[in-house]
Amino acid sequence: MPELVFFSGTMDCGKSTLALQIEHNRSARGLQGVILTRNDRAGEGKLSSRLGLVTDAVEVEDGTDLYAYLVDLLSQGGRADYVIADEAQFLAEEQIDQLARVVDDLGLDVYAFGITTDFRSKLFPGSQRLVELADRVEVLQVEALCWCGARATHNARTVGGEMVVEGAQVVVGDVTQSADEIVGYEVLCRHHHRRRMTAASARAAALSPDVLPVQPA
């Protein structure tokens, strides 16, 4: 039976790499898929991983009807054996409903990849709808690590290396940005997310004589 599967995890845990691996495995067996993405780090119409792998994709816009897109493709003689949707957290709730309809009415497997919560630890609407509708939710087992070495469970937005908890839910950035760039992202454990302690602020604290006083011999 075809399925809607949601692969979730924090940033930097290999979601896009797995999406590309699924595409490679199926295309190597003669299957042809439709790859959807939105706001990928490599630019419009791309699915990329931090390992440097990249492939072309269909850029999803605000008003794109994904079910109608697939129906139109098939009715014009195109082929689609499965669908991959990367950065699925950025999709609208109605677009997730459309992907579920692709599974149920068109009989295609849909593999969606995305992070569950934003920098405020609030659910993305697209991810919430996927949790509600998916046949399976798979939490990726490649663990991203906080700067302290603990398992990273939260996504943080930084400005100048300092964690922020206010602002628009979607601001495109990257975990590879340096601390002095305007907007960056970092994965943290819950403890340090609650304390708003990023790698940059932790280094600053470690260098402070008020935090690490030097005791005379």
Residues belonging to the active site: 87
User: What residues contact 66, with CB distance under 8 A and at least 6 apart?
Assistant: 36, 60, 85, 95, 98, 99, 102
3-state DSSP call for residue 147?
A: coil
Alpha helix stretches (DSSP H) within the chain? 15-27, 66-75, 93-106, 125-133, 190-194, 199-207
Place of tokens 């991983």: 49
* Whole-number Å distance between alpha carbons of 66 and 95: 6
Contacts of 38 (CB under 8 A, 6+ apart): 59, 60, 86, 87, 90, 91
Give me the helices (H) in 28-92, please: 66-75
